[in-house]
């Protein structure tokens, strides 16, 4: 049985996956805000990536009534 196919998620598992989701959502926004040419552009890019990451995590955990799809991750390639 794979860790990814748990039938009954525990509170600890939910916390770990949420933490990993936030981590992977935060890394691009930190990187973009650090390498952007100007402070304003860096903050704007970071805000867009943070919102997209938060929405992605919310969809994956059922906070937003939508079907999670793999192509939702393509937003981070923009």
Across residues 56-76, what is the average pLDDT? 68
Q: What is the C-alpha to C-alpha distance for residues 65 and 19, in angstroms, rounded to an integer?
A: 21
pLDDT of residue 8: 54
- Confidence check: pLDDT of 1 > 50: no
Q: Rounded to two decimals, what is the model's pTM?
A: 0.45
49 confidence band (pLDDT: 50, 70, 90): confident
* Average of per-residue pLDDT values in the chain: 70
């Amino acid at each position: 049985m794979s860790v990814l196919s748990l039938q009954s998620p525990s509170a600890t598992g939910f916390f770990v996956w949420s933490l990993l989701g936030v981590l992977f959502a935060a890394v691009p926004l930190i990187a973009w805000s650090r390498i952007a040419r100007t402070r304003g552009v860096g903050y704007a890019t970071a805000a867009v990536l943070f919102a997209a990451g938060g929405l992605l995590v919310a969809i994956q955990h059922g906070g937003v009534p939508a079907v999670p799809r793999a192509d939702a991750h393509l937003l981070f390639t923009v």
